[in-house]
């Protein structure tokens, strides 16, 4: 009967992990985004729930008229059934 070779004799063994240096991480600099927050504070972003039946070109004016707002609400088509409204006032 043939003798079984050990793992060491076959050249197999538990691999000793080479010391891998940790990846360098890049830190993004801190940004002052207070002006962006203030600029977009009166913004609403939404999505059509049934884009097969609802058309964006008819929904944007519908929302503007239905809400009966003081001031302007500028609606924009963002694509993929999404829209954005920018309001002038935070109260009706």
pLDDT at 35: 92
What is the pTM assigned to this prediction? 0.54
How confident is the prediction for the chain on average, in pLDDT?
A: 82
Residue 30 has pLDDT above 80, yes or no: yes
Question: Is 79 or 15 the better-scoring residue by pLDDT?
Answer: 79
Grouping H, G, I as helix, E, B as strand and the rest as coil, residue 44 is: strand
Q: Which of 50, 45, 42, 55 is nearest to 76 (CA)?
A: 45
Q: Which of 82, 73, 25 is nearest to 51 (CA)?
A: 82
Helices (H), 11-83: 34-39, 56-67
Grouping H, G, I as helix, E, B as strand and the rest as coil, residue 66 is: helix
């Amino acid at each position: 009967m043939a003798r079984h070779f050990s793992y060491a004799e076959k050249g197999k063994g538990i691999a000793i992990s080479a010391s891998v240096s940790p990846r360098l991480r890049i830190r993004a600099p801190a940004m002052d985004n207070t002006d962006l927050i203030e600029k977009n504070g009166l913004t609403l972003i939404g999505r059509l729930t049934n884009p097969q039946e609802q058309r964006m070109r008819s929904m944007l004016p519908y929302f503007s008229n239905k809400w009966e707002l003081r001031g302007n609400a500028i609606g924009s088509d963002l694509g993929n059934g999404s829209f954005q409204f920018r309001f002038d006032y935070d109260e009706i």
